[in-house]
Amino acid sequence: MNDVTPSPTAWERDPSYRLFLTRYTELRWRKRMETVLTATVLALLVLISVVFTEFYPNRLLTGAPRVGEYFGKLFSVVPQTGAEPVPVLAWGHLFGGVKEPQSVAYWFYRIGTYATLLWQTVQMAIIATAMGFTAAFALSFPAARNLVATRWLVFVTRRVLEIARSIPQVVLAFILVWPFGIGPLAGILAIGIHSTGALGKLFSEVNENADLRALDGIRATGGNWLTQIRYGIVPQVLPNFLSYGLLRFEINVRSSTIIGFVGAGGIGSEFKRVIGFNIYEEVSAIAILILLIVMVIDLASERVRARLIGKLAGEPAR
Amino acid sequence: MSGTIRLDSITPAEIAAARARLPRLFAATWHAQALRFALLAGAVLYLGYLHWLFEFDRIFSGFDRLWLILRVMFDWSHFAEWDHAEILRSMAETVTMAFLGTALSGLVALPLGFLGARNVIPSRVFRFCTRRVFDVCRGLDQLIWALVFVRAMGLGPIAGVLAIFVSDTGVLAKVYSEAIENAEQGQIDGIRATGASRLMTLRLGVLPQVMPVMLSQALYQLESNSREATILGLVGAGGIGLRLSERIQINAWDQVAYIILLILVTVAVIDTVSRHIRARLISG
């Protein structure tokens, strides 16, 4: 090896090598300092957060067994009255009859109530999405810079949409429960208002990217602003709008499952009740149902969206 | 034939051919019209059903009460008497909850992301199982996790941190494993060609490629979690949500408006800071 590589002294004497070496050490040192600084800042922030949230190990340790307890109780039997429950997870239990406390049938014995509530939850999502879609559709045109000459109108519409989407939905629902009473109506309005804000922003962005030549064509034939929008813009943006609307629907199904936590209808209120009373079987039953319904709706909506986009791609460019 | 217009002798077959070619130039056929009418009637009936199901009449009786609430909301004449120390402390609690939850989930999601990536663990069964676990963590809403942890840990921000941690781990592990799967194979092969062990290949071949993506995703989650953290208190998981729900329950609408405004400002500040850091991360 020694006959191939130059001797260390020869390397050291080379000025370009020395320059490289100083630059290299300098860079490396700087990088290391940067890492140390970032790590220190992060550690400090974590420390502050731990103190503020009382995230102490001893509290975690006292609480942690109670999380496991849930599954223990879910899959355990009491051999005699008064005895300690024995954890059991067996197919025999799982597929036993309605009387068997660990069976799936026992978990779901109130499936009728759940089905009604889930149906209501999905209907809430549908009507709220429809409301949000309609309002966002109407507001997206005055919120598009390229369609409206009046600057203040664009500004005001945009701020309205911004406020509508930045207030947390659950908070909105909690507030609306006071004027509109406990029940799905408050939830629908809250989700609808939030959807208006979220969709309105997306729609106005679609509008701003629309091709204005069609609009100019309508204007040339003497169409007013409404007809220009109706025949010049709407046909090209509608497929995009629908796709965003479906995506929003998926999100709204999730929201409507939890909006009941504050009394605004749907399966959420029932879920909160069974968690509060520690009815283990029903908690897992509802959790599974919520997961299932969300998955089914996601898959269905994904299909429709794929078809919508496929149709778009299949259409000849005009 | 083409180019000449023969108004006198157009055969029905020609009309049908033209209709097939350019259907939208013709008036709708009677069954298309019937279908359209049926759809419209169905929509009206459905709306009527929803109207009955959700008692939409209550909207009209609610508006005067809503108006009353709105009027009280913007009357801040008692501003000096509010418990500002408590409100600001809770706001800080919310922000720290979001930060700690996101930081922990980022740490835990890193190894989980590797376990869920196709190019790290080739086993299909294993990957299917890990992915489903992420799905469950992600699929149940943060508010549901908060309820679960409030039962286990008691009221307070610790339940909120855990709720954010669990649901966020599901999100980040999924995104991380996708980022790892999209890592360029050439660099990985290069490291492996030097005789590096499996762990070193991941450390030197994969991690440098995906680190900026991971950090920016974590920051993005921090933004979203700080929004979510504001409502976790509504179910007792600490933070500003708890104060908000107290104020709503005693109908202190002026303070409700103030707290909402505070939330909006805080979230906007976090968004701005995080967006700057993300832009720097991505540009290098």
**Contact B19/A at CB under 8 A:** no
| Chain B from 95 to 154: CB within 8 A of any A CB | 96-97, 99-100, 103, 136, 139-141, 143-144, 147-149, 151-154
What is the reported pLDDT for A1?
46
- Chain B nearest CA to A55, separation (Å): 5
| Chain B from 29 to 48: CB within 8 A of any A CB | none
pTM above 0.90? no
Under a CB-based contact definition with an 8 Å cutoff, are residues B110 and B214 in contact?
yes
Q: What angle do CA A300, A304, A308 make, to 5 degrees?
A: 165
Tokens of B157: 């921000």
Tell me how crowded residue A142 is: count the other CB atoms within 10 A of its CB: 18
Cβ distance B147 to A261 less than 8 Å, yes or no, reads yes
* Closest residue in A to B148 (Cα–Cα): A275
- Chain B nearest CA to A13, separation (Å): 31
Nearest one of B150, B59, B222 to A179, comparing CA atoms: B59
Q: Is the dihedral of CA A208, A214, A217, A219 positive or negative?
A: negative
- Chain A nearest CA to B13, separation (Å): 26
Tokens of B243: 């104060």
What is the reported pLDDT for A5?
57
CA–CA separation, A41 and B35 (whole Å): 65
For chain B, the distance separating the N- and C-terminal CA atoms, rounded to the nearest angstrom, is: 67
Residue of A63, A170, A272 with shortest CB distance to B152: A63
For this complex, say whether ipTM is above 0.85: no
Cβ distance B161 to A166 less than 8 Å, yes or no, reads no
What is the reported pLDDT for B128?
86
What is the reported pLDDT for A89?
59
* Closest residue in B to A58 (Cα–Cα): B153
Best to test chain A binding among B143, B148, B164, B215 (most A CBs inside 10 Å): B143
Cβ distance A52 to B264 less than 8 Å, yes or no, reads no
Lowest mean pLDDT among A1-10, B126-135, B258-267: A1-10
Cβ distance A52 to B92 less than 8 Å, yes or no, reads yes
| Chain B from 209 to 268: CB within 8 A of any A CB | 227, 230-231, 234-235, 238, 241, 244-245, 248, 251, 256, 260, 263-264, 267
Cβ distance A257 to B151 less than 8 Å, yes or no, reads no
Q: Which chain A residues have a beta carbon less than 8 Å from that of B144?
A: 258, 271, 287, 290
Cβ distance B264 to A166 less than 8 Å, yes or no, reads yes
Q: How many CA atoms lie within 13 A of B201 on its CB side?
A: 20
Q: Give mean pLDDT, residues B226-230.
A: 91
* Closest residue in A to B232 (Cα–Cα): A170
Q: What angle do CA B105, B109, B114 make, to 5 degrees?
A: 170
CA–CA separation, A303 and A309 (whole Å): 10
Under a CB-based contact definition with an 8 Å cutoff, are residues A242 and A312 in contact?
no
pLDDT of B10-56, one tens digit each?
788 888 888 888 877 777 778 888 999 999 999 999 988 888 888 88
Cβ distance B58 to A181 less than 8 Å, yes or no, reads yes
CA–CA separation, A5 and B131 (whole Å): 52
Under a CB-based contact definition with an 8 Å cutoff, are residues B212 and B281 in contact?
yes
SS (H, E, C) A41-59: HHHHHHHHHHHHHCCCHHH
Under a CB-based contact definition with an 8 Å cutoff, are residues A160 and A139 in contact?
yes
Cβ distance A275 to B151 less than 8 Å, yes or no, reads yes
pLDDT of A255-292, one tens digit each?
999 999 998 888 998 998 888 887 877 888 888 898 88
Residue of A53, A67, A176 with shortest CB distance to B93: A53
Q: Which residues, including other chains, have CB under 8 Å from residue A181's CB and lie 6 or more apart?
A: B58, B62
Tell me how crowded residue A261 is: count the other CB atoms within 10 A of its CB: 24
pLDDT exceeding 70 applies to what percent of chain B?
Answer: 97
User: CA-based diameter of chain B, in Å?
Assistant: 91
What is the reported pLDDT for A195?
96
Q: Which chain A residues have a beta carbon less than 8 Å from that of B157?
A: 52-55
What is the reported pLDDT for A135?
97
Q: Which chain A residues have a beta carbon less than 8 Å from that of B158?
A: 53-55, 59-60, 63
Q: Which chain A residues have a beta carbon less than 8 Å from that of B257?
A: none
What is the reported pLDDT for B58?
80
Under a CB-based contact definition with an 8 Å cutoff, are residues B235 and A171 in contact?
no
Low-confidence residues in chain A, pLDDT < 70: 1-8, 71-102, 310-318
Residue of B50, B158, B264 with shortest CB distance to A127: B50
Best to test chain B binding among A45, A47, A53 (most B CBs inside 10 Å): A53
Q: Which chain B residues have a beta carbon less than 8 Å from that of A261?
A: 143, 147, 234-235
pLDDT of B175-227, one tens digit each?
999 999 888 889 999 999 999 898 899 989 999 889 988 999 999 999 999 99
Q: Which chain B residues have a beta carbon less than 8 Å from that of A45?
A: 99, 103
Cβ distance A168 to B227 less than 8 Å, yes or no, reads yes
Cβ distance B238 to A53 less than 8 Å, yes or no, reads yes
Tokens of A306: 């794929």
